[in-house]
Chain A
Amino acid sequence: MKKYFYHLRVLSSALFLFALASCGTNKEEESNAATQDTIAVASAKDTGDLTKDFFYALPSPLVMAKVFKKTGLKYVEGIANSPDNISKYSSVGRKTLNLGVYSSDLAYTVLNKQSQQASKYIEVMKKLSDDLGMSTLFDSDDYLMRFKNNLNNEDSLINIVCQLKGDMDIFMKDNEKEKQTLMIFIGAWIENMYIATQLTKEANKEKVAMRIAEQKFILNSLMNLVTSYQNDAELKDLFLKLSDLKTLFDNLSVQGEDEKLVMDELQLKAITEKTRDLRKEIVG
């Protein structure tokens, strides 16, 4: 009798494991069935699959900085976050956000031929990456050494920054660091926005204002991604502040067939102030 119960118990365990394995399969089939008819449903499924797929490509800090620079944005010393501020960042969340901030500062200094300052930014990026358990990222291709060996060659520095971004993207995906990727992007986006909004007087105001207004589309995409983390302890507060900024962008009017965004002085001022406040909270 005892032996019979033992066999029954083992059989039950096997059946339970079978049911567990079947669950995944059924879920997949259900998912397939749900997505086969309409694209809209497929898109909704995509959002739910955020942790598995990096289905959304957002512009790199270098490209954002490049687009702003083309409007005539000049280099102003002291506008970017000081590398010395790294000592302020003790939590994983702040280190991650400021890794993004410094990646934009690196782009800003490289594009403006400030190679000595740029080398300080890549150093702090390495330090933060090491602290965040991503030391293999910089070590794999000896980025720091290559960067320092090419300080007099702007094209090489830009190439190194692009390669580093590429390696970082692969590293983050293959190590399933979706949330950290998003936080790095938020830090980078805010820093680029901060630099652009603070320097509108130094540039072709109309052109830079147009590029700032266009960030509405990038912010919309960003918010779609952040929404999945709106209850996350590290992102909750940031989500609310970004939502406030989004409200300001949503108030911009659209004109003409090409749906050009129009931003007046007051709207630019409000976006500038909100961006400054948000950036202040991130960089401390």
Chain B
Amino acid sequence: MIKKVILTATACFLLLFHSELSAQQCKVKPIVNSCKSSLPPYQYDSYAVKEVVYGAKAKKEVLEFSVYSGEEYKLVFGKTELPQEINITIYDKHPSKKDKNIVYMDESGKKDNFVCNFQPTKTGTYYIEFEIPAATAANQKGCFVMLIGIKE
């Protein structure tokens, strides 16, 4: 009897451990497929992906992208695979820098794919800051994908 209980417990722990590992992998294909129709007539340039893990407290994280001045860009934020909404702000410098400027802010509050047009005045790196709210359930995580399109 004891042997049976211990073996069952072992199997449960193994299953738990395995599911945690699986959940850490961010598969982008379904998210990209859900938001790529928002890109045309802009042409695909590049993308970035971030696994979002909701914690006990709200937190901020940063994603970076490089663009050229004088070009017109469209950014498509794929947020459909997130269990909770995240707020997005784009800066011209790292968000920790005092002299940063806000380039764009998504205040829609919608848990949906979101699109913005963007014409950088300088070539280089821009920063997207996410505001990730506190988790409302255990082991809450999801994937965020950003597609970058450029005007022909």
Interface residues of A (CB under 8 A from B): 6-7, 10-11, 13-14, 17-18, 20-21, 24-25, 28-29, 31-33, 35-36, 38-40, 42-43, 45-46, 49, 52-60, 62-63, 66-67, 158-159, 162-163, 165-166, 169-170, 173-174, 176, 211, 214, 217-218, 220-221, 258-259
Interface residues of B (CB under 8 A from A): 2-3, 6-7, 9-10, 13-14, 16-17, 20-21, 24-29, 32, 36, 43-51, 53, 55-69, 71, 94-96, 121-125, 129, 146, 148, 150, 152
Residues of B within 8 A of A10 (CB): 3, 6-7, 10
Query: Chain B's nearest CB lies how many Å from the CB of A210?
Result: 9
- Judge whether B55 and A32 touch: CB under 8 Å: yes
> Which among A31, A211, A218, A258 is the interface contact of B66 at CB below 8 angstroms?
A218
Mostly helix, strand, loop or mixed at chain B's interface? mixed
| Known contacts A54-B47, A63-B45, A221-B66; A29/B55 CB under 8 A | yes
| Known contacts A10-B10, A21-B20, A57-B148; A39/B60 CB under 8 A | yes
Most chain B beta-carbon contacts within 10 A, residue among A11, A176, A258: A11
| Known contacts A166-B36, A217-B125, A221-B66; A57/B57 CB under 8 A | no
- Judge whether B59 and A35 touch: CB under 8 Å: yes
> Which among B9, B25, B26, B57 is the interface contact of A14 at CB below 8 angstroms?
B9
Query: Chain A's nearest CB lies how many Å from the CB of B7?
Result: 7
- Judge whether A67 and B68 touch: CB under 8 Å: yes
- Judge whether B49 and A7 touch: CB under 8 Å: no
In the complex, the chain A residue whose C-beta lies closest to that of B68 is A67
- Bound complex: CA of A36 vs CA of B64, how far in Å? 19
- Judge whether A13 and B10 touch: CB under 8 Å: yes
- Judge whether B46 and A57 touch: CB under 8 Å: yes
Query: Chain A's nearest CB lies how many Å from the CB of B71?
Result: 7
- Judge whether A33 and B94 touch: CB under 8 Å: no
- Judge whether B46 and A59 touch: CB under 8 Å: yes
Residues of B within 8 A of A166 (CB): 32, 36, 44, 47
| Known contacts A7-B2, A10-B6; A163/B59 CB under 8 A | no
Q: Give the 9 A-B CB pairs with smallest separation, nearest first.
A: A32-B55, A217-B124, A57-B65, A214-B123, A57-B48, A21-B17, A36-B59, A40-B96, A57-B46
- Judge whether B17 and A20 touch: CB under 8 Å: yes
Beyond the given A29-B55, A258-B121, please list 20 additional residue pairs across the A-B interface where CB-CB is below 8 A: A10-B7, A14-B13, A21-B13, A42-B60, A43-B61, A53-B49, A55-B49, A55-B50, A56-B48, A57-B148, A58-B65, A59-B46, A59-B67, A63-B45, A158-B43, A162-B44, A162-B45, A165-B46, A166-B44, A214-B68
